[in-house]
Structure 1
Amino acid sequence: MNKFTLIACIAIAMLSSCTAQKSNENLTESGLNPAKFDTIIDGTKAVKLYTLKNENGMEVCVTNFGGRIVSIMVPDKAGKMQDVVLGFDNVADYINVPSDFGASIGRYANRINKGIIVIDNDSIQLPQNNFGHCLHGGPKGWQYQVYEAKQINDQTLELTMNSADGDQNFPGNVVAKVTYKLTPDNSIDISYSATTDKKTVINMTNHSYFNLSGDASTLSTDNKLFVNSDSITPIDSTCMTSGEMMAVKNTPFDFSTERAISEKIGDTTCEQIKNGNGYDHNWVLKDKGNINVLAAKLTSPKSGITLQVYTNEPGIQVYTGNFLDGTVKGKKGIVYQQRAAVCLETQHYPDSPNKPQWPSVILEPGKTYTSHCIYKFSVEK
């Protein structure tokens, strides 16, 4: 090798090193490459990855495709930063692989019986995409649509959904907003609002899949769970509520005292466990409507990471990832197995449009729908 060839090789090596270093500098704390989220949908709707950070080093990444939380980096009991939610590392997978990972769900979170709502004596047929029911707003709910995004500052992201009259056959032109705010106490403060020009139904939530161990290849059933509730809204074999309330005392659903999810999730002598294939139920919160009272708490004994949930909603859906089946590959190439995560979805009760005895989900013109959820992270050592 002559000296000119040697010099050329050194130059190429240095250039490659600089390029790799620059590429690494562009990655988020969770290892995401924002370039993999840049795309245009329907010719005009820009999709990007947005990053929120606070003074403690906590990081939350959100894509405006579906208003989805993609990653949450929080410290564990050893002080090491861990990503505690499931998801994908590129927007193509969010578009092409059916999932609700991290999504801002609308118009109606959870299920509507047989996809039928009646408004002012007018019966409206919605899509039937889950056991004959309408789930999470239908197969093209807001989790599969593009929110307009405005990053207010390093800690705040505002997302806006302009949902046309007839979107998934729901009535009314609706303008909905989701605001993510990362606070100094390591909380993700989520505020929802919506207005309409025609009477409609609204029930929004966040559908993050939490694996608080930071290792999504492991199950989350060892997590300890507390729910501030004395009852659930029981379901049938199609996961549809009956309109009744069921006391949780002396059942596998009693988490009024913190205990491991694994303790009774396999108790198939319980009809409700069989119907949900585990836990996939709405808990009726004792202090419904009080944002200052703890609604639920989830703790990983492995990492020490704790998630506290506060809400002004009357209910919370606890879903233990029962329908994850090892066919979906997420971030870092990890295959998501059954019960690899726990979802804590603050909400009005499932099928409330058809249960007049429950808190109303009707939104009328001139009124504003609001909902509030706080996910607060800390460590138990």
Structure 2
Amino acid sequence: MNKSNASISISEEVIKIDEAKKSSIGNVVHLKGSIGNNLSFQDNVEVCEDVFGVYYDAKGEAHNIKRFTLKNKNKIQVQVINYGARVASIKMPDRRGHVDDIVLGFDDVAGYKHYKNYYIGATIGRTTNLVRNSTFQIDNKQHWLTPNLEPHHYNGGRVGFDQVVWTTFLDEKKVIMSHISPHMSEGYPGDLLVRVIFELSEHNEFSIKMEAQCTRPTIVNLSNLTYFNLAGHHSGSNEIYRHIVTLNCNCFTIQADNGMPTGEIMNVAHSGFDFQVPKLLGKLMGIVPKDGFNQNLCVNRGLGQGDCFVGRVLHPPSGRLIELYSNQWGVNFSTANDFGNDRLLSMEQILKAPPPTAIETKRKCVGSEPLLRLYAKVHEQIKDTLSKDEENTYKEIYELINRIKHYSSVECPNTPVNTPEVAADGSNLEEAATQQRMSIMPSDVRFTPLQIEYLNKIHKVLCDNCDEEACEDLKEVITIIISLATSQSKEDESVEEKSIQEEVLEKQLSPTTPPKLTERKSPVTSSGTSKSKKTPVKQNLIPDYYKSSNQIIGKDRAHYTSHGGIALQTQNYPACVNFKNFPNCVLKPGETYTHTITYKFWIKAGNPNKWIKKNLNESRSILK
């Protein structure tokens, strides 16, 4: 076949890549120019820069978040931002030439800030995944890290690389982002200079290169967590189930129920993690809402080998295909299990295990079980009137109810030492109990509008038609929580209004305006300077459409739910510093840590229905 006459079309023949790839993935077209046209491999990559938004750090200082757009002549476009050195967007055409964004992300900085615990698109460090018990040893010296996932250290700590503004530099067609992590940041020893290089080639290869150097021995395990949906970022789990995944991994690291590795390595044979042959995800997941994958697998690579093939993901209906190459020992295969379920849940489904407060508490209160059973019953009555996917909302409310009831001075025989004094005749007993319950409420609890609406519905049911014994107790607890939530909401509104008024007043008063006679002069210090009122620290404003939903609201207001994306996160093994049989992650002065990631974008031509049918038949024969 003449190579110059090839085009991306269902009806036409396709380009032969090589026999190995053809036998494993079928007929594939590596994009060459615009659809139907071939271009020579020249310098056809454009890079432009603009401002993505403004971010305020902890000191209230404003930082312009820069966005870099890399685009080649083949309709491949990649966008990266320097808040967390993130991949914000990747656009590519399907077999018909329709271009879609295939990466999950957000339209503004507020989205990345609000959903920071999901690390979407971010560079993660200094270490990825878990460090057991937040501690490790280097040269017989013990180091302690910030335990942000008690008692363990997770994804770099409370303020990891995903939450910092990186310094940027544009070197021709390369976008270079750098960051200096100071000594003892999150508990890590030594200064660490990190550099991330993003580059898109005319060959439709997008590469991420991470480098790090240190001033003292430390541990480094960087990664990038980008979620793909080759049908389009907004397409959801139904299209993810149509993806076909291949992974060059012959082993996996065993992990306990809490996700912590045990230090054992097992072969993938006869396990649910054998992707050495292509597997259709819809045959393996989607039956139970909380199934799916979040597992580290061991890449099949040789000693001293550099970049090697890690995996391949194909979406037959669109023909989009990506291949992943890296120099790392492991890859964490994730299907976004914690993004939410997009469905109504019963209390039994929400509370698969007792809440942490109930497990950790040693003493039990009389009558708490009837109250919680009544709460679950009322929840079932109003479930159909609620928004979908509010698992976190319900679970938080459940734990608050249990906590307030549990520490009640009225119900619990073991009264805490700080119980308010009560009159001998018992006249102030109820008031004292209410005050104590309010005092034990966690100070960091912030209620969302959905939670307040949910509490009001519960309260209405209890007031209208509830004659059970625990009804009054539950009504009292719900009233306390609603009161606290309402006061918090008013306090937040007043603080925001006051901040706006002060800002307007500051603009209206010029420096030359003489003070009014009724104004008091500012006190003067010994140095002769006047003490001015402390200016409120500016904060990042989160739009209501983020705060009012318990689902993740992504780009174009798309709802990201459980199994709505796929991530192949190359990394060293999780908790590698805690197990001697895992690859070493200690970096010493004079050494350079290097982590390379390369995505290759392809389009598969042909009839997708026939390909899926063939794959299903092969899967059945394997199962038999």
Q: TM-score normalised by the shorter chain: which range applies?
A: 0.7 to 0.9
- Whether the 8 Å contact between 2:54 and 2:62 is mirrored in structure 1 is no
Q: Show CA shifts across 1:299-356 (max 9, x none).
A: 1123211110001111111011000115110000001010100111111100010111
Q: In structure 2, the residue corresponding to 1:140 is in which secondary structure?
A: coil
| Correspondence for 1:177 among 195, 207, 231 | 195
Asked if 1:137 is matched to 2:151, the reply is: no
1:352 corresponds to 2:576: yes
Q: Distance in 2 between matches of 1:247 and 1:341?
A: 26
SS at match of 1:245: strand
Aligned partners of 2:138, 2:307: CA distance in 1, in Å? 33
**Contact 1:291 1:310 (C-alpha < 8 Å) held by counterparts:** no
Correspondent of 2:208 among 177, 187, 190: 190
Q: Where does residue 127 of structure 1 map in the other structure?
A: 146
Q: CA deviation at 1:189?
A: 0.8
Partner of 1:376: 600
Secondary structure in structure 1 of the residue aligned to 2:338: coil
Instruction: State which of 327, 331, 334 in structure 2 corresponds to 1:312.
Output: 327
Q: Alignment partner for residue 93 of structure 1, among 104, 107, 111?
A: 111
Change (3 A) 1:35 1:176: closer
**Alignment counterpart, residue 75 of structure 2, candidates 57, 61, 84:** 57
Counterparts of 2:103 and 2:328, CA distance in 1: 22
1:141-152 to structure 2, matched below 5 A, reads: 141-152=160-171
| Structure 2 match to 1:278 | 292
- Is the aligned partner of 1:117 residue 2:136? yes
2:53 maps to which residue?
37
Tell me which amino acid in the other structure corresponds to 2:148. N
Shift of 1:49: 1.2
Q: Which amino acid aligns with 2:257?
A: S
Residue 591 of structure 2 aligns to a residue in which SS?
A: coil
Equivalent residue number for residue 31 of structure 2: none
Aligned counterpart, 2:522:
none
Q: Please give the alpha-carbon distance, in whole angstroms, between the structure 1 residues aligned to 2:273 and 2:115.
A: 31
Paired with 1:183 and 1:109, the residues of 2 have a C-alpha distance of 28
Aligned partner of 1:341 in structure 2 is: 565
| TM norm structure 1 | 0.85
* Cα distance in 1 between the residues matched to 2:589 and 2:109: 35
State the Cα RMSD in Å.
2.0
Name the structure 2 match of 1:228.
248
Quick one: structure 1 residues 290 and 201, their matched pair in 2 at CA, closer, same or farther if it must change by over 3 Å? same
Q: Report the CA distance between 1:45 and its aligned residue.
A: 4.3
Q: Which has more strand, going by share of residues?
A: 1
- Aligned residue pairs, count: 342
- C-alpha distance 350-213 of structure 1, shift in aligned 2 (>3 A): same
In the alignment, structure 1 segments of 5+ residues that lack a partner are 1-32
The answer for the alignment partner of 2:178 in structure 1 is 160
What is the rounded CA distance, in whole Å, between the counterparts of 2:175 and 2:68 in structure 1?
A: 8
Q: Is the 8 A contact 1:85 1:209 kept in 2?
A: yes
Deviation of 1:166 (Å): 1.2
Correspondence 1:206 to 2:221: no
Deviation at 1:46, TM superposition (A): 3.6
| Counterpart Cα distance in 2 of 1:177 and 1:309 | 21
* Structure number with higher relative contact order (C-alpha < 8 Å, ≥ 6 residues apart): 2
CA distance in 2, matches of 1:328, 1:120: 43
Percent identity over the alignment is 29
Residue ranges of structure 2 left out of the alignment (5+ in a row): 1-48, 343-550, 606-624
Query: What's the secondary structure of 2:577's corresponding residue?
Result: helix
Report if the CA contact (8 A) 2:52-2:64 is conserved. no
Shift of the 169–56 alpha-carbon distance from structure 1 to 2, 3 Å rule, reads: same
What is the identity, as a one-letter code, of the residue corresponding to 1:253?
Answer: F
Does structure 2 conserve the Cα–Cα contact (< 8 Å) formed by 1:285 and 1:295? Answer: yes
Q: TM-score, normalised by structure 2?
A: 0.53
Q: Which sits farther off after the overlay, 79-88 or 120-129?
A: 120-129
Q: Equivalent residue for 1:30?
A: none
Work out whether residues 76 and 304 of structure 1, in 8 Å CA contact, stay in contact via their aligned partners in 2. yes
